[in-house]
């Protein structure tokens, strides 16, 4: 810990096991010239080998004390350091082909994933460490307990893969849960065409607002049973049984029906 006291308000827990550091860096496979961005570099366990292999990194750190340490250890040629809240950071300023890496604070994991998804067109890939349960939700299949809003919203834009689990003992201080590494790769040309992303988001949020509700009741304030049937959706089905493609088709059908009056 090098004298640093982990701060609960920032959700800090630091990767400390060199075996898992090496395993994560090998999974990322950074190359010279990569546009690497690390969220929450902290005590720089991942940062050092990333810089050794890529040459340079952009880092976003909210903790001013840790940022001061980073600024002392790394030159401006090695690190472009941004001090502040990643949820307010504009990734559009960093260019294209971004390779985002991070041991994400568990207390903001879902909002941060939604935030990063907004920049999907600029991303080459993401390698993020999260609670094992969150990664299970990200990679879930329809009609399973972990399948939900986060699943659909991410899988509509990314191919999501769980790489491996990282146990509590790999961290200081050790968390009370297992973590896992997830890789997200933008779908690119394979991404489904979503005519109105905002409407798509509303439909998905409504469908999972109360999991026991049928689609007829869950999305009743957005569309009626006839619209569901027109989209090939059984009004009596529950949202958790629908594939990502079903949600896309429903949202796009609603756009057409709205435009036709």
- Confidence at residue 3, expressed as pLDDT on a 0 to 100 scale: 55
Q: What is the pLDDT of residue 7?
A: 46
E-strand ranges in the chain read 14-15, 35-39, 57-61, 79-83, 98-103, 123-131, 158-166, 171-172, 179-186
Domains of the chain as residue ranges with CATH: 8-189 (3.40.50.150), 197-259 (1.10.8.100)
Q: Which pLDDT score is estimated for 10?
A: 47
**155-195 pLDDT, tens digit each:** 999 999 999 999 999 988 787 889 999 999 999 999 999 99
**Per-residue model confidence as pLDDT tens digits over 204-250:** 999 999 888 999 999 999 999 999 999 999 999 999 999 999 999 99
| pTM across the whole model | 0.91
pLDDT higher than 90, residue 257: no
Size of the chain in residues:
261
């Amino acid at each position: 810990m090098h004298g640093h006291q982990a701060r609960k308000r920032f959700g800090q827990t630091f990767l400390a096991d060199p075996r898992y550091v090496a395993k994560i860096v090998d999974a990322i496979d950074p190359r010279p010239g990569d546009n690497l961005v690390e969220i929450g570099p902290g005590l720089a366990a991942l940062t050092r080998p990333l810089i050794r292999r890529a040459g340079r990194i952009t880092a976003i750190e909210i903790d001013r004390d840790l940022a001061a340490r980073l600024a002392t250890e790394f030159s401006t040629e090695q690190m472009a350091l941004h001090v502040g809240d990643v949820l307010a950071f504009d990734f559009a300023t960093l260019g294209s082909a971004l390779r985002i890496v991070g041991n994400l604070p568990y207390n903001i994991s879902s909002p941060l994933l939604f935030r990063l998804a907004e920049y999907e067109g600029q991303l080459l890939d993401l390698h993020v460490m999260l609670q094992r349960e969150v990664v299970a939700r990200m990679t879930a299949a329809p009609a399973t307990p972990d399948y939900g809003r986060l699943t659909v919203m991410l899988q509509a834009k990314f191919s999501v893969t769980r790489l491996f689990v990282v146990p509590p003992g790999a961290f200081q201080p050790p968390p009370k849960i297992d973590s896992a590494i997830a890789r997200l790769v933008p779908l690119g040309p394979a991404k489904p065409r979503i005519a109105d992303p905002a409407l798509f988001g509303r439909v998905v949020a409504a469908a999972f607002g109360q999991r026991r509700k049928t689609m007829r009741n869950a999305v009743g304030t957005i569309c009626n049973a006839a619209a569901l049937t027109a989209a090939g959706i059984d009004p009596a089905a529950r949202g958790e049984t629908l594939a990502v493609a079903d949600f896309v088709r429903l949202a796009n059908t609603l756009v057409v029906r709205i435009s036709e009056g």
